[in-house]
Chain A
Amino acid sequence: MFENLQERLQRTFKSLRGQAVLNEENMQETLRELRLALLEADVNFKVVKQFIDQVQAKAVGQQVATALSPGEQVIKIVRDELIEILGKDTARVKFASQPPTVVLMAGLQGSGKTTTSGKLAHWFKNGGHRPLLVSVDVYRPAAREQLKVVAQAIKAQIYEGQVTEGNTATVERLAKEARREAINSGCDVLIVDTAGRLHIDDQLMEEMQSLKRLLNPSEILFVADAMTGQDAVRSANEFHKKLTLTGVVLTKMDGDARGGAALSIRQVTGAPIKFIGVGEKYDALEPFHPDRIVSRILGMGDILSLIERAEQTVDKKKAQDIAARALSGDGFSLEDFRDQLRQVRKMGSIQSLMGMLPSIGPFAGLQKHADKIDENQINHVEAIINSMTAYERTHHDVINGSRRKRIARGSGRTVQEVNNLLRQYAQMRKMFKQMGKGNMMRKLAGMKMG
């Protein structure tokens, strides 16, 4: 499935190559594949439609960046848009001005509320807080027992209380008692684990509202399973309508679910995703990184990381400066030379860079050649330049025999290699100078860099 999508997308890229401006027509194919990708990732179909329309409106008329094909440009817009939607105010946990800060956990059955409560308590403890756990799940068999075991494992305080009857009155009493206990025992955070409930269960949703009134929580976290499908919008929306969620915890992210529910939930509730659960251990709770989940939802990590690296690492301004100086005559120093090498390096190893390109279409056969590039050579050249003094790098003429010997020793290379490098550098300078003289060439170089 995954390869298919990448290949299909690549085909659409190819057919679009050489077009400078995005229009409805040349985006259509890419957007169709994108729609499928999002649906396969379990993004709700209505959210998908809304999102694609949004992207299309934004993309039409945009210039295609020189480094990208129109298809890739669309994906780039999509990625940026997704990161923006998912990443907006991914604020930290809000604390109450008057402790205890109450965190109310909400969610459907089996989404992972109890495990997440434990992980959160662990997270608060690590941050120097004193959390108190309480389970008001008086319905599911052994639910309160489960939180007790969790609390023991992470050495967090728990308020157990007495339960004789499984009803809302008991739930409210437990909540009040736990709050008092938190104040009495000097705990600054109270984490309230609740029973899993269906969003259409009016009675239990009312209980949730009553808990909110009683406890005035700073955070109401909706715990959602990353594997949730199309129904995520409905459940999240109902919980949000009744409780006004302050954040979302996406659990079971250590599986292979694409996690499209994250986008659905974010779109319908507007509540930020604050944490993700990535394992069964109690430290397996991570802050949410929108960029990571975006590549997961789109399922085209390779194309995305290529786009990302290309735009992040090749510092266009710097390249332009170097080019201008090189072409103007004597400006191209060994320092500049090293900068250029580093630019190449930052793109990642050349092999892996080639490997990221799909082995079809315009890139077919490129991978084979990748093996022949000797990465070590680039490392050696950089080592040699690193062993020069700053003065030497800008005034290569002063590098005489004894300096060469010192540089060779410093870089762990031979004098011969130092000689070779200096010779090649001199040739390059000469070449640039000649290029600079021809006006044509300057224009060409300028265009490429710009």
Chain B
Amino acid sequence: MIQTLFGSTENKPGLFDRMKEAVARTRENLSERIDEVVAFNKEIDRNTLDELEATLLGADLGSATTHQVLEKLRERADRKQIKDGEELKRLLKEELLAILTAANTPPVERPEGVPEVVLVVGVNGTGKTTTIGKLAQTLRSDGKTVLLCAADTFRAAAIEQLEIWGQRTGTEVIRTRAGGDPAAVLYDALEAANARHIDCLIVDTAGRLHTKTNLMAELEKMRRTAQRLIPGAPHEVLLVIDATTGQNGLQQARQFTDAAAVTGVVLTKLDGTAKGGVVVAIARELGLPVRYVGVGEKAGDLLRFDPNEFVESLIS
């Protein structure tokens, strides 16, 4: 489903079938729910909308965002401005879309001839390394030269994992020994990217809980290192968020933005049944755009984020 929604780069029936099946299995999708509620109540009033609250909450939008979205619709409903279920769906989509598009700012412009430096951060287990592998693939198929930097020197076999992705995508990986200084390997990678006139350097970092102050400070140090060697770097700081994440995702976004100046979000594991609605809350509160979504474990399973399609998938 998502595959078609987001405009796939590849044609893969397996995934399509899986997604369709998943969606079919979740009989609580908002669209059906609206039809059901409207059929029962005939008229759209406050009570109709209360019924929808649970569905928005169930998509991990959080109570504050859910409340805001529904409040606007309630006002309209009070003035009897919502004709039928179709219009309610349209208005709901508009509200959600407004939040996402307001945050959808393009990455900063960078000077000509300078390698783009992308720092990838996030808590443990969200899929940073896998995302980097897929991102390398995407950029390489766009004809760009890519270099990877294995700055997760902490987790067991994280470097090896990135190296396998390097082999799969034909991308070189700059590495150091396990337990080495992440800022030092970043320094080497930045120099290599400069010397070889690479288009894009993607930096893998160790997963860290946003509550660990010393580890968050390490990210600041890496930022400074990047800045010293390449003007304006890192040009993009991507926070990887797992679609199954609940309201703690907001806290992650806040803390990582404070420490590492996040510029965008990658929403991973969207091929499951989780809707990833917390990114709407993140967009609303922090104005952070979603850049990519991850929909599988293969190199091609990374898609550019499209707010329209995402809202569609939230509701359907």
Contacts and interface: CB of A to CB of B under 8 A. Distances in A.
Contact of A254 (B59, B60, B168, B211): B211
Contact of A231 (B156, B158, B210, B244): B244
A255 B210 contact: yes
Contact of B297 (A139, A153, A235): A139
A142 B164 CA distance: 8
B244 A36 contact: no
Interface in A104-119: 108-112, 114
Interface stretch (B122-130, B139-147, B256-264): B122-130
Interface SS of B by simple majority: loop
Contacts of B25: 200
Contact of B124 (A39, A112, A149, A150): A112
B274 A231 contact: yes
Contacts of B232: none
Contact of B247 (A40, A111, A146, A255): A40
Task: Give the residue among A149, A227, A261, A280 with the most B Cβ atoms within 10 A.
Answer: A227
A175 B287 CA distance: 48
A443 interface: no
B161 A140 contact: yes
Contacts of A150: 156
Interface string B140-172: 000000000000001111101101110010000
Contacts of A228: 244-246
A134 to B, nearest CB: 16
A230 B63 contact: no
A44 interface: yes
Contact of A142 (B59, B161, B274): B161
A168 to B, nearest CB: 16
A15 B11 CA distance: 61
A258 B59 CA distance: 18
A142 B155 CA distance: 11
Task: Give the residue among A40, A142, A232 with the most B Cβ atoms within 10 A.
Answer: A142
Nearest to B163: A142
Interface residues of A, number: 50
B209 interface: yes
B5 to A, nearest CB: 17
Contacts of A46: 54, 58
Nearest to B23: A200
B85 interface: no
Interface in A201-220: 201
21 contacts: A39-B62, A40-B62, A42-B247, A109-B127, A110-B127, A110-B242, A114-B156, A139-B297, A140-B161, A140-B297, A142-B164, A143-B157, A146-B157, A199-B272, A200-B273, A226-B248, A230-B246, A234-B26, A235-B244, A252-B123, A280-B124
Given A231-B243, A252-B125, 6 more contacts: A45-B54, A108-B272, A229-B245, A229-B247, A231-B273, A280-B124
